[in-house]
Amino acid sequence: MKIYQILYEIYEKLYSYFGPQKWWPAQTPFEVCVGAILTQNANWKNVKKAIENLKNNNFLDPVKIYKISKDDLAKIIKSSGFYNLKAKRLKEFVKILVEEYEGDLNKLFSGDIYKIREKLLSIKGLGKETVDSILLYAGNLPIFVVDTYTYRILLRHNLIPEQITYDEIQNLFMEHLPLDSRLFNEYHALLVACGKNFCKKREPFCETCPLKDL
């Protein structure tokens, strides 16, 4: 069976089992960006608290975050953990957004996807998974997000070697599937659902996993 057939089979099995995941859980594209930055080394429950604090203080806005001091921002997002670092990263992100794109995400996302990616990756502390999440889920741009669950599921089904890079895994999907942001959105979310519920780091539930017959 060819790799694109296997990738489609994984998608179909997971979609049939879990159904649509409706990611990313946010009301606006900017909220997606903030969530992607804050969720680094944090569980979503604590990130959600931080985002609610931003909303309650009327600061979930690029211009307002641009103007607020880093220390004050850190206090508001404290529940997300590593709040001083994350405040700095969030400030750097909105600095680019406000100073170069008038605070307008549509203007940011209207450029070449790889040039945007390179610019966002230049922000210290924003890695490929975070930046690609912003591009896919906030910008609706066709780029595949790779995370620990993706690596673990593919590795356990002998589809990738143990020593492989983020870019190599990403290319596996982008070279063998249509460049469709909706497909990439749903596919990544389904892999996360499988990883959280079945393909756990320790004691995976292989016998009941929807991919057991892959």
Give residues with Cβ within 8 angstroms of 8, minimum separation 6: 177
- Residue 92 CA, chain-centre distance (Å), reads 18
Do 56 and 90 belong together in one domain?
A: yes
Do 7 and 101 belong together in one domain?
A: no
Q: Could you give the 3-state DSSP secondary structure of residue 46?
A: helix
Show the low-confidence residues of the chain (pLDDT under 50). Answer: none
Q: Does 68 fall in a domain?
A: yes
Cα radius of gyration rounded to whole Å, the chain: 18
Do 121 and 33 belong together in one domain?
A: yes
Q: Does 180 fall in a domain?
A: yes
Ramachandran class of 5: left when φ > 0, alpha when ψ lies in -120 to 50, beta otherwise: alpha
Do 66 and 108 belong together in one domain?
A: yes
pLDDT recorded at residue 63: 97
Q: Does 201 fall in a domain?
A: yes
pTM, 2 dp: 0.95
> What is the domain range of residue 92?
29-138
Do 125 and 90 belong together in one domain?
A: yes
pLDDT recorded at residue 112: 95
How many structural domains comprise the chain?
Answer: 2
Q: Does 214 fall in a domain?
A: no
Do 120 and 172 belong together in one domain?
A: no
pLDDT recorded at residue 214: 87
pLDDT recorded at residue 80: 95
* Token pair in block for residue 11: 């998608």
* Token pair in block for residue 137: 């889920």
Could you tell me which of 85, 172, 156 has the C-alpha nearest to residue 123? Answer: 85
CATH number of the structural domain spanning residue 69? 1.10.340.30
Question: By CB neighbour count within 10 A (0-12 exposed, 13-18 middle, 19+ buried), where does 19 fall?
Answer: exposed
Q: Does 59 fall in a domain?
A: yes
Do 116 and 191 belong together in one domain?
A: no
CATH number of the structural domain spanning residue 176? 1.10.1670.10
Do 204 and 151 belong together in one domain?
A: yes
pLDDT per residue over 121-138, tens digit each? 999 999 999 999 999 999
Domain boundary residue among 109, 138, 167? 138
Q: At residue 161, what are phi and psi to the nearest 5 degrees?
A: -75, 160
Domain boundary residue among 138, 165, 192? 138
Q: Does 108 fall in a domain?
A: yes
Domain boundary residue among 99, 118, 138? 138
Do 75 and 125 belong together in one domain?
A: yes
Q: Could you give the 3-state DSSP secondary structure of residue 128?
A: helix
Q: Does 213 fall in a domain?
A: no
pLDDT per residue over 153-167, tens digit each? 999 999 999 999 999
Q: Does 199 fall in a domain?
A: yes
Do 38 and 121 belong together in one domain?
A: yes
Do 35 and 132 belong together in one domain?
A: yes
Give residues with Cβ within 8 angstroms of 95, minimum separation 6: 66
Whether 32 and 138 have beta carbons less than 8 Å apart is answered as yes
